[in-house]
Amino acid sequence: MNDTPLVELRDVSQIFWVEKPWIGKAKPLYALRNVNLQIPKGSTVGLVGESGCGKSTLGKVILQLTPQASGSVFFAGQDISHWSQKKMRPLRRHMQMIFQDPYSSLHPKRTILQNLQEPFLIHNETENMEEKIYQLLQDVGLDRETLHRYPHELSGGQCQRVCIARAVSLRPDFIVADESVSALDVSIRGQILHLLLELKTKYQLTYLFISHDLAVIEVVSDLVAVMYLGQIVEWTSAKQLFANPLHPYTQLLLEAIPIPIFRPDRRKRHQFIEAELPDPVRMPPGCPFAARCSKVQPRCREMAPTLRNLGTSETPHYVACHEA
């Protein structure tokens, strides 16, 4: 593994301006707040959190689909945070995205073949295009007949396979998989995860795997970042995170998952603090998780905790919590 991470974020913040009153200024909503993240080459980083915590925003900032408000983004050692769209274009083929809903990511009025040709045409690589497409289909486990069908004729799982084929068609280095298996049935989900892992070895890919499902994250990830309201609250190896979660939010997430095993005490009520998420526009001072935390102390409401390493230098375990 190379020492320079493939992707690196340094103090990245993203602000959306919302709730503009009739007179006066709009209010800032911090979708990302001073995020630092390193994605080593060849690894899979899982990004987990509840909806609206900024997971997808982070993915889009890395790919520079939406420019960040402040901070810098490095890709393969280069600072790409202020590149123009034109300058970005040749780099785009090295970074791809797979979305949640495969149907809406394919052109509904074009056949699968036309959908798969698109990246080759855009990047002017029409040489041996047919053969490459056949190879891709084989790689993702579809047969050639599929090429002449339209997206609506395929099942969700098949459609997602087409999207994956399209994402890897130009041999990218980095793929952001944004909730790529969330819309699929459990039985299909396993197959698609397996396919993604297979392609990772085959094409030497690096993944940022965004999901709200901790079970999925555990299967695919080497490293995991837990996000809460625009901040990374825990960041360590997957093994460490699931064996020994330190942040109360991670613990809450793990406890909330219903387990498909019969237990006599199953109806024992989850001991949750039934607080709502704070309004991201009017964030109280201190720790963003304080309102829902079971270990909350007075200082949590005054001073926001920063990420600190509670592990060793070989196996770091970063947690943003005063009480951990």
Partner 1 sequence: MTLLTVEGLQLSLREGDRFTPFVEDVSFSVEKGKTVALVGESGCGKSITCLSMLRLLNPEAVQISGGSIQFEGQDLLHLPLSQLRHIRGNSIGMVFQDPLSSLNPVFSIGNQLVEAIQNHRSVSYAEAKEKALHMLASVRVSRPELRFTEYPYQLSGGMRQRVMIAMALLGEPKLLIADEPTTALDVTIQAQILSLLIELQEEMNLGILLVTHDLGVVAEFADEVLVMHTGRIVERAPVQALFENPQHAYTKKLLASVLKLGGTQ
Tell me which residues in 192-251 interact with partner 1 (CB under 8 A): 193-194, 212-216, 218-219, 242
22 lies in the binding site for partner 1 (CB under 8 A): no
On whether the CB atoms of residues 322 and 306 are closer than 8 A, the answer is no
On whether the CB atoms of residues 223 and 45 are closer than 8 A, the answer is yes
Nearer to partner 1, 174 or 249 (CB): 249
Distances (CA, A) of 175 to 47, 99, 190, 210, 299: 13, 11, 19, 11, 40
CA distance 178 to 163: 12
Tell me which residues in 252-271 interact with partner 1 (CB under 8 A): 252-263, 266-267, 269-270
Nearer to partner 1, 214 or 324 (CB): 214
Q: Residue count at the site for partner 1 (CB under 8 A)?
A: 38
| Cα Rg of the chain (Å, integer) | 21
Among 1, 24, 25, 51, binds partner 1 (CB under 8 A): 51
The residues facing 10 across adjacent strands are 72
Q: How far is the CB of 294 from partner 1 (least distance, A)?
A: 13
Total number of residues shown for the chain: 324
Convert residues 277-296 into a mask of x (bound to partner 1 by CB under 8 A) and - (unbound). Answer: x-------------------
50 lies in the binding site for partner 1 (CB under 8 A): yes
Nearer to partner 1, 23 or 261 (CB): 261
Distances (CA, A) of 81 to 6, 68, 172, 269, 300: 14, 8, 19, 47, 33
On whether the CB atoms of residues 11 and 35 are closer than 8 A, the answer is yes
Q: How far is the CB of 73 from partner 1 (least distance, A)?
A: 27
159 lies in the binding site for partner 1 (CB under 8 A): no
The CB density around residue 283, as the number of other CB atoms within 10 Å, is 15
DSSP H or E run through 232 = strand 231-237
Q: Which residues bind partner 1 (CB under 8 A)?
A: 50-51, 156, 185-187, 189-190, 193-194, 212-216, 218-219, 242, 252-263, 266-267, 269-270, 272, 274, 276-277
